[in-house]
Amino acid sequence: MSRSSGPKAPSQRMLRVGELVRHALADVLQRGEVMDPVLEKHVITVPEVRMTPDLKLATAYVMPLGGRDEAKVLAALDANRKQLRMMVVKRLALKSAPDLRFRIDDSFDRGSQIDALLRSPQVARDLGGDGAEDEG
């Protein structure tokens, strides 16, 4: 049997651990447990955490409220990575502490682009036919 060469969907275990890490990280950031002036001034959401198959690396997708100062927030999170890792591990019962990596979440921007595209006159024209395609 040969395996497909395409990207593999995350396992249930990866999804479960990613969600646990997401909750713990969001809790740490919400409570302001990290003493950093940049992080203290921003409300940061953590919409998703993706785990590697070996559960040793967690990529946290973050977004400061309002999308302000993304670069500063990302730099502050990277600077406090070890402290955040220890705080997350204290809340979880895992064999090993996953290394944290932070990325800006751009899913809201992509969603807005898709929404704008769907509302464009060209798409409305194509979808505005006689409705025969909708039946079936």
pLDDT at 129: 53
Structure confidence at residue 111 as a pLDDT band (50, 70, 90): low
Domain 12-106 has CATH 3.30.300.20: yes
pTM over 0.85: no
Q: Using the Cα atoms of residue 44, residue 30, residue 74 and residue 93 in order, give the sign of their dihedral.
A: negative
List, for residues 50-107, the tens digit of each pLDDT value.
999 999 999 999 999 877 888 999 999 999 999 999 999 999 877 788 999 999 988 7
Amino acid type, 86: M
Amino acid type, 83: Q
Mean pLDDT for 14-40 is 92
pLDDT at 130: 44
Q: Provide the residue ranges of all domains of the chain, joining segments of one domain with +.
A: 12-106
- Give the SS3 label for residue 128: coil
State how far the Cα of 11 lies from the Cα of 17, in Å rounded to an integer.
Answer: 10
**70-79 helix and 81-91 helix, angle to the nearest 10 degrees:** 70
Hey, which residues does 107 pair with through a beta bridge?
none
What would you report as the CA-atom Rg of the chain, rounded to the nearest whole angstrom?
20
pLDDT at 26: 94
